[in-house]
Amino acid sequence: MALSQEAIAANIAAVRGQIAEAAARAGRDVADITLVAVSKVHGPDAIRAAHGAGHRVFGENYVQELVDKADALGDLDGLVFHFIGHLQRNKAKHVVRVPAVVETVDSSRLAAALGGRATAAGHTLDVYVQVNVGGEAQKSGCSIARAGEVIEAVRGQEGLTLRGLMTVPPAAPDPAAMRPHFARLRALRDELAPGLGLSMGMSRDLEVAVEEGATVVRVGTAIFGSRPPR
Ligand SMILES: *Cc1c(COP(=O)(O)O)cnc(C)c1O
């Protein structure tokens, strides 16, 4: 069931509180952490409600859904989308139409396709390189070994600006099990892209992610409730 605007506003405030507490524990400035409210599968009204509560940054996983929502919500000021789903090269042209940050660049070929589309559209696109830190066969993201090559491919594209690294670690019941994966991504960032961002942490493990240096956390369920079937 869709949550009310009041419930969504209260959830956002609670998540912000969690981020602030974790940042304080780690001696970090909360202003360095962006909360992406993951609205995938929820209707445009969920975004409207969160926007009414002052939130502006939303995460979407499916290209068509992203484009449809951006069209339906054209009257809202300051909306920014983060695309966090698997992106096929042939969909790159649709993504560059929307004011979106693409967090899931995981191959040199995808970097070239996105960069070419962004340049043709006359703007630059902020992107993250997605790394499969857990080495799971079925999961998107480049391997740790390939990350340097994908980062170089992004840097070689005039139409792209590298903002950092992103990961979705293997699911585990205990958030503490995520810590080594988050630390691994941070070490990789320090090695290959010092000073740039780290997108990691979801509803269940955002505090651990912030303690390990996340600059972007992607939170769906804790804000919008459980997702309806797609
Ligand atoms: C769905 C999704 C999220 C949000 O997950 P929750 O557990 O609902 O917070 C974050 N990141 C990615 C890549 C997702 O696909």
The per-residue pLDDT for range 95-111, each reduced to its tens digit, is 998 878 999 999 999 99
CB distance 104 to ligand 1 below 6 Å: no
What is d(CA 48, CA 221) in angstroms, rounded to the nearest whole number?
Answer: 17
CB distance 188 to ligand 1 below 6 Å: no
CB distance 203 to ligand 1 below 6 Å: yes
Share of the chain above pLDDT 70, in %: 100
CB distance 186 to ligand 1 below 6 Å: no
Q: What residue type is 130 in one-letter code?
A: Q
Mutate to test the pocket of ligand 1, among 38, 66, 87 (most ligand atoms within 8 A of CB): 38
**CA neighbours closer than 13 Å in the CB half-sphere of residue 217:** 33
What is d(CA 54, CA 210) in angstroms, rounded to the nearest whole number?
Answer: 22
Mean pLDDT, range 188-216, rounded to an integer? 98
**Is 64:93 a contact under the CB 8 Å cutoff?**
no
Alpha helices in 96-165 (DSSP H): 108-121, 147-155
The pLDDT confidence band at residue 228, using thresholds 50, 70 and 90, is confident
Q: For residue range 23-77, what is the model confidence (pLDDT) as tens digits?
A: 999 999 999 999 999 999 999 999 999 999 999 999 999 999 999 999 999 999 9
| pLDDT computed for residue 193 by the predictor | 98
| pLDDT computed for residue 144 by the predictor | 98
| pLDDT computed for residue 5 by the predictor | 94
CB distance 219 to ligand 1 below 6 Å: yes
Per mean pLDDT, which range of 82-86, 172-176, 194-198 is the poorest? 172-176
The pLDDT confidence band at residue 230, using thresholds 50, 70 and 90, is confident
Q: For residue range 132-141, what is the model confidence (pLDDT) as tens digits?
A: 999 999 999 9
CA of 223 to the centre of ligand 1 (A): 11
Which H or E element spans position 129?
Answer: strand 125-130
The pLDDT confidence band at residue 200, using thresholds 50, 70 and 90, is very high
Ligand 1, atom nearest to 36 Cα: 10
Question: Measuring CA to CA, how many Å separate 138 from each of 135, 142, 170?
Answer: 9, 12, 11
**Residues whose CB is less than 8 angstroms from the CB of residue 177 and which lie 6 or more positions away in sequence, other chains included:** none
When the pLDDT of each residue in the chain is averaged and rounded to a whole number, the result is: 96
Residue 229 above 90 pLDDT? no
Q: For residue range 108-129, what is the model confidence (pLDDT) as tens digits?
A: 999 999 999 999 999 999 999 9
Residue 1 above 70 pLDDT? no
| pLDDT computed for residue 99 by the predictor | 79
φ/ψ of residue 224, rounded to 5: -105, 0
